[in-house]
Amino acid sequence: MSKIKNIVVLTGAGISAESGIRTFRDTGGLWEDHSIEEVATPEGYAANPELVLGFYNARRAQLSSVEPNPAHTALSRLEKGLIGQGGYLTIVTQNVDDLHERGGAENVIHMHGELLSQWCRSCNHKFKSSESFTLQSQCPKCSAGGKVRPDIVWFGEMPYYMDTIEMSVTNCDLFVSIGTSGAVYPAAGYVQMARGLGKQTLEINLERSEGSHFFHETRLGKAGELVPAWVDEVLNG
């Protein structure tokens, strides 16, 4: 690969797998034994809000028992290294965990929301919290009860920061996808956008993703091993 300065990395559940957070396509399309319809759609929330709040409470509580793995810390090293060379790294993650940040990365875009962010549907206020929520929980701003939902983008809802992400892809030299099955759009379509703009593209995943053929290069294996090695390559030119 020729010398690259600006990189966009798109990450998915696979980059957090070695930290002990389960992905969902590996487990037959279930997320911690629940169907996507049940826990990751507005309809699922309307049908059984207690179950959905409990599901995200459990995912949020799990964060305190997991640690970033070598793939997360390598991306933080890449961010600092690129800045030192006059470039930059944008991490676009589909993950709702906070392991990129805890691994030291700063420029992280959570396109599908965050477990540590909550959203009041009464006054639209968003706030950070690591606590558990029930149907009785009150909004800290307007005090409405039963209106606080996880600030997670569910299926059928619009992902966040799409303009910023498209601008980042437009301005990058290299687009890299790590640990994602390539099944969830619009994230899965960014490789085609990058290709259309003449960018270099690389995929790092345990197995070929659904859009694997769109990438110039695919490296198959564990993110915790392949990402640090790739970061060394980039920073050493």
Q: Which pair of structure tokens corresponds to residue 105?
A: 């990365």
The site partner of 18 among ligand NAD, Zn ion, none (C-beta below 5 to 8 Å per kind) is ligand NAD
Contacts with ligand NAD, 131-160, as mask; x by CB under 6 A: ------------------------------
CA angle 117, 153, 207 (to 5 degrees): 110
Residue 161 Cβ vs Zn ion, minimum distance, rounded to whole Å: 23
Residue 149 Cβ vs Zn ion, minimum distance, rounded to whole Å: 11
Query: How many angstroms separate the CA atoms of 123 and 121, rounded?
Result: 6
94 is an interface residue for ligand NAD by CB under 6 A: yes
Using the minimum distance from each CB to Zn ion, give the nearer residue, 129 or 212.
Answer: 129
Q: Which pair of structure tokens corresponds to residue 41?
A: 């759609």
Using the minimum distance from each CB to ligand NAD, give the nearer residue, 157 or 207.
Answer: 207
Handedness of CA 66, 69, 75, 76 (dihedral sign): positive
Beta strands in the chain (DSSP E): 6-11, 30-31, 34-35, 88-93, 108-110, 113-120, 126-128, 148-152, 174-178, 200-205, 217-220
Using the minimum distance from each CB to ligand NAD, give the nearer residue, 201 or 205.
Answer: 205
Please state, as a whole number, how many other Cβ atoms lie within 10 Å of the Cβ of residue 109: 18
Neighbour-count burial of 49, counting CB atoms closer than 10 A to its CB (0-12 exposed, 13-18 middle, 19+ buried): middle
Using the minimum distance from each CB to ligand NAD, give the nearer residue, 17 or 174.
Answer: 17
Among 51, 58, 61, 123, binds Zn ion (CB under 5 A): 123
User: Is 112 in the active site?
Assistant: yes
Name the site residues for Zn ion (rule: CB under 5 A). 120, 122-123, 125, 139, 141-142
Name the site residues for ligand NAD (rule: CB under 6 A). 12-14, 16-18, 21, 23-26, 31, 94-97, 112, 179-181, 183-184, 205-207, 209, 222-223
